[in-house]
Amino acid sequence: MNTPKIFVVGAGTMGQGIAQLAAQKGHDVCLYDLHSIALEKAKSQIEKSLEKLVEKGKLTQEKQVEILGKLKFVNELHEVSHSDLVIEAIVEDVAIKHKVFIALEALASEDCILATNTSSLSIASIAVALKVPSRFLGIHFFNPATLMPLVEIIPSVLTDPKITVKAKAYIDGLGKDTVVCKDTPGFIVNRVARPFYGEALRMYEEGMADFATIDWAMKTFGGFKMGPFELMDYIGNDVNYTVTETVFEAFYFDPRFKPSFTQKRLKEAGLWGKKTGRGFYSYDSNEEKPKPNTDEKLGMEIFNRILSMLVNEAYDAVFMQVASPKDIDLAMVKGVNYPKGLLEWSVAMGPEKILATLETLFLEYGEDRYRPNPLLRKCVREGLILG
């Protein structure tokens, strides 16, 4: 397969990351943005990024020059005419994306694949604006695109299966771990990961434990590199809350995805986490960090509750045919750096233990939020192992 020419739309953080990655892998890349200032900033950021790789000995100066020679920064859409793959990474607004793709479709060759990097919009809702929606799909990179190994490939109900195979091959060629998933809210990662944040917030709001204790429990007993509140502060409460709200609404307000008033208030107050200096924690170096309650029994209770909710969501994703068990586990390990796949974890712990935790919660609360998935029940009843 010839090295495809790639056209990236949008010179923001995601766009420039995708463009840099593709150029580093030997592709000729056009990075398009309507605004010249955004292009200049993107070029500067990419140059700095490559310079750091040279300083660390991960890149020679000759290779740096070669990569920069692969990149073209343009503010004219007609430059797309010789491209094999378009990846759009602009604002999450369907109407704006429609305008961009209508213009791109008129200029791109018939064989060019059109893709969106959306993380929260349905692929079908964007594809419907095209005359030939069969060549359109989702290609969802994670930030930073140059470093994060996972890419979700999301065909819509209108996508030609051959286009999915071809697009996956292109992204595999970038050295990424690709997973194919159904066009449902949150795809794999942003759907399955919701309880990591949501159940942690719920326990805090109930007064079961504070932020530091919940984070300590998940790191100590689960082996997670970051606890839920540390991770929300790192992602940004503005971003994390919006994703939760979007998934909740898209699932017709299913209580499993219900957002938290605690995080909503932080978002409203501009306390977004590390980038604003304060979120669930203060990032003022003069302030003492809160100490967790290191009671082992409490810690295990916290860990088991959050993990059981995560595993239940992973079973639901299999049950609803969002993706294969293998791809779901791969997505959670490579996309959000979980210590192991959730389905694999359930086997190691015993799915009957997960089911018992969920049934206890369901009996205690009487909320649909805690309903065990039918597939989990079946696996326990029949001794089935997903894989």
Q: Are 241 and 267 in contact (CB under 8 A)?
A: yes
Find all residues with CB under 8 Å of 351, minimum gap 6, and list them. 311, 376, 379, 380
Find all residues with CB under 8 Å of 378, minimum gap 6, and list them. 384
- DSSP string of 163-223, one letter each residue: HHHHHHHHHHTTT-EEEE--S-TTTTHHHHTHHHHHHHHHHHHHTS--HHHHHHHHHHHH-
Provide the terminal-to-terminal Cα distance of the chain, rounded to the nearest Å. Answer: 31
- DSSP string of 342-360, one letter each residue: HHHHHHHH-HHHHHHHHHH
Enzyme catalytic residues: 119, 140, 152, 190
- The backbone region for 9, taken as left when phi is positive above 0, alpha when psi lies in -120 to 50, beta otherwise, is beta
